Structures are given as structure tokens and as C-alpha cells.
Amino acid sequence: MAEVERATAARVQTIAQSDPPQVPPQYIQPPQVRPFCCSPSAAPAAGSIPAIDLSGLDPTHRDRVRAEIGRACRDWGAFHVTNHGVPSSLLDRARAVGSSFFRDLSVDEKLAYACDPSSSAMEGYGSRMLENDDSVLDWRDYFDHHTLPLSRRDPSRWPSSPPDYREVMAEYSDRMGLLAKQLLGLISESLGLPASCIEHVVGEFYQNITVSYYPPCPQPDLTLGLQAHSDMGAITLLIQDDVGGLQVLKDREWITVEPLSDAIVVLLADQTEIMTNGIYRSAEHRAITNASRARLSIATFHDPSKARKISPVSELVSDTSPPRYHEVVYGDYVSSWYTKGPEGKRNIDALLL
Ligand SMILES: O=C(O)CCC(=O)C(=O)O
């Protein structure tokens, strides 16, 4: 098969557009990880991630916000923030340019931005999370952008259509970076640490933005849009459209994160679990599919540089509370994630002392 044909055939959107009655076998998940429910609306109604109102961070409100963030990080590792200061028009524009890229461009136009399938974590248009031959594939196409530090940002590698794509994504990156810093400050304070503590350990943010597109799926009960994982870095900020499909694991049960208009989902990632010595846990999450509507999400990952060494912060370690994780060089952590695959949280568990 010619190179381009192979790439085209691998696109989930192309498969979905041919209206197959069944998904191809490589998308069928083993029974133990299949979604219990076949549509987000059939998911358990009880329990949803907490929603925290960030408005008015003056000293009085800051105490309330800190306490709520502490509870959410301890109990869930995931929460919504509202009144976060990012204009809802920007969230809408980011969703609009993302869905226009997937919906309005032909496959050939999209393939002009294809990322190199033989190399992990590359920028561009892609379809699979892992390249291991034996891995079950996600029912998802995506576009990954390298956005911060600015030296990594090259909008000429991003879609030129719709015409405002690059401008919107750059502004979105800047605003998410600022919010991520603010949230890491509140998370530090919620542990009685100086606001800058976690941010100092992380150092300069390495930020990537992934726009995920999940076409309608003929067999949502057999597939996953994105397999279960926790994110590798420090903190992820995610928006989704009104279709829904993000699920967070809580007490061994998958809870659907109902889309909340204008809110941003905060997901603690593995390095924050290490820095907080396990007081706060990273959120294991996944995306399920549905048969009727395509879904879009935009995840913004904030990571340390590859050279950064991460360990539990000294203020949280004592004789009575010894370190629970080995120190890790972040780049080694990333390599191991891509070699072994996410499989839930296996990678971070390997660092437990
Ligand atoms: O689509 C979603 O809601 C989840 C996306 C996600 O977890 C990711 O991009 O890593």
C-alpha cells in the first residue's frame, strides 16, 4: 500500500465516514476495559467532579478556594473551575477552529500536517496514542501542538485553515499557561506551602495542546475513544464540547464528567502526585465514544522540561511522613511511558518506595 493510502486508511474519521456496521477488530478493547455503559448519558448520575468558583481571589475568598481545591485534589485529582478568567468567547473559538479543522478539511488537506507515525509525541495530525503493534487502537484522531516555551512554538506547522486557527491557538496557549500557574499556586497554598513552591520544582512550563476528535462509533460498548491513563506532567487543563465522554476513575468506578458550559476541567498529573508525596493523586481518566455525535476535546498539558529532576518537596517530607516516591528525571519518565504504555497508572506506581 502506498504511504499516503496507509495513512488515510488509519484515520478513524475515514473509517467512520464509510459507515461500517462494526468497528475493525484492532479497535475492539478487551472485555475488562470496555466501557460499562454505551453512551455518556447512560453513565451513573451519582457523583460528578467538584466545581470550584475561582472568582474574587481576595484573602477571604482565597481561603475558601484553597480549602475546596485541597479537598478536590485529595478526593478526586480532578475538578471543574468556573470564573477562571479565560473569556468564554476564547474557549468557544478554540473549540470552533478545532472542529472546523476536522470537519471542513478533506483528508488530503489534513494529511499535509500528518505527524511522523514512527516517532512518539510528535507535533501534528495523528491517530494513535501508541505505535506498539499489539496495542488496541483508540477511536480518535488528534492534532498535537507544541506551544510553550515560545522557542518551541512554530504556528507554521499548525493548520492554516480555518484562517484564524493559528491566532486562536496561540492566544489559547497563553491564557492556559497563565491559568495553570495560578492553579499550581493555589494547589501549593492548599498544602500550606508558599504559592511558588510547586511551580519552582516544575520550572519553565513545557506546554502541549492536543485537540482530540472522536467520530461517531458504531460499537461504543466495545471501544474507547482514549484508553485509561493519567497524564505524565504536572497539570492538564481540558475543555470539551457538549457531547461528553470524559470519565474519571473514582473509587474504582468510572464517573462521567458532564460538560459544564464555560468551565475548564483540571486534571492533576503524575509529577504533581510525586511533588506532593502522594497527598494529592493524579487523575486516571479515559474517553468513551458514542454512536451518534462526533466529539471534540482540547487538552493542554503543562510539563517540566525533560532534564528536570522531580521528587517530593522537602516541606512535605519528615520522619513521620517519609518520601513515598523515588526522584525521577522527567525525560526518563516520559521515555518509560512511551515504551511501556499508560495502562492505567503503572508508570507512577513503579516509582513508589
Ligand atoms: O477527550 C478527553 O476528554 C480526554 C483527552 C485526554 O485525556 C488526553 O488528550 O490526554
pLDDT of res. 117: 63
Torsion of Cα atoms, 266 then 262 then 172 then 272, to 10° = -10
d(CA 269, ligand 1 centre) in Å: 12
pLDDT of res. 47: 63
Contact between residue 93 and residue 217 where contact means Cβ atoms under 8 Å apart: no
297 lines ligand 1 (CB under 6 A): yes
d(CA 317, ligand 1 centre) in Å: 32
d(CA 9, ligand 1 centre) in Å: 23
246 lines ligand 1 (CB under 6 A): yes
First-to-last C-alpha distance (Å) of the chain: 49
Contact between residue 212 and residue 243 where contact means Cβ atoms under 8 Å apart: no
285 lines ligand 1 (CB under 6 A): yes
pLDDT of res. 40: 46
Q: If we measure between CA atoms, which residue out of 13, 231, 241 comes closest to residue 114? A: 13
Q: Where are the strands (E) in the chain, listed by range?
A: 51-53, 78-82, 124-126, 141-148, 206-214, 226-229, 235-240, 246-250, 253-256, 264-268, 285-287, 295-303, 309-310, 328-329
Is residue 205 classed as helix, strand or coil in its secondary structure? Answer: coil
d(CA 316, ligand 1 centre) in Å: 30
Determine the Cα–Cα distance for residues 104 and 110; give it in Å rounded to an integer: 10
Contact between residue 168 and residue 93 where contact means Cβ atoms under 8 Å apart: yes
pLDDT of res. 5: 41
299 lines ligand 1 (CB under 6 A): yes
pLDDT of res. 121: 62
| 297 CA: nearest ligand 1 atom | 1
Q: Which of 246, 282, 290, 337 to mutate to test the pocket of ligand 1 (most atoms within 8 A of CB)?
A: 246
CB neighbour list of residue 253: distance below 8 Å, 6 or more residues apart: 44, 47
265 lines ligand 1 (CB under 6 A): no
Determine the Cα–Cα distance for residues 174 and 163; give it in Å rounded to an integer: 19
| 229 CA: nearest ligand 1 atom | 7
pLDDT of res. 344: 67
294 lines ligand 1 (CB under 6 A): no
Cβ density class 89-125: b for 16+ within 10 Å, e for less? ebbebbbbbbbbbbeebeeeebbebbbebeebeebbb
Please list the ranges in the chain whose pLDDT falls under 70: 1-9, 36-47, 117-121, 129-134, 342-344, 346
pLDDT of res. 2: 41
pLDDT, tens digit, for every residue of 26-62?
999 999 899 964 444 444 445 689 999 998 777 778 8
Burial zone of 275 (CB within 10 Å; 0-12 exposed, 13-18 middle, 19+ buried): buried
Q: What is the DSSP string of 224-282?
A: -SEEEE--SSSEEEEEE-SS--EEEEETTEEEE----TT-EEEEE-HHHHHHTTTSS-P
What residue type is assigned to position 217 of the chain?
C
Beta bridge partners of 125: 114, 143
Give the single-character DSSP code of 164. Answer: T
Specify the pTM. Answer: 0.93
Q: What is the largest CA-CA distance in the chain?
A: 64
